[in-house]
Amino acid sequence: MAADPWSFSRFVANALFLARIVEPMFGTNMSLWSLTNEFWYYLLLPALATIHIFNGKRLVFSISVLAVLGTVIYMLSNPIDFLIYFAIWFLGAAVYYAQNLLR
């Protein structure tokens, strides 16, 4: 990993939502981890649903499996934080959808 917090490799890793996976956060904004988490959260739920719904369609199924695998690899890099923050994020999503069901 590059020691320079402003390195190009850190910038690219953060731009591809791979902060804390392949490189530390870019620059001095240590809250960039939340963008990475959000990206992987928003990828995980639809991918799991797609695997369940489109089980017979190979391309969609394969892409969804890759998305879930990517999320699992990210989760393994920092499992406790990922699970805690995912639970919080999921509760927010559940409240939103419950609110829409009650209308």
The pLDDT of residue 8 is 93
Q: Percent helix, strand, coil in the chain (nearest 5)?
A: 75, 0, 25
The pLDDT of residue 1 is 47
The pLDDT of residue 34 is 85
- The low-confidence residues of the chain, meaning pLDDT below 70, are 1-2
Mean pLDDT value across the chain: 81
Whole-angstrom distance, CA of residue 26 vs CA of residue 28: 7
| Model pTM score | 0.60
Amino acid at the residue 21: I
Tens of pLDDT, residue by residue over 1-23, are 457 999 999 999 899 988 888 88
Domain limits, the chain: 33-102
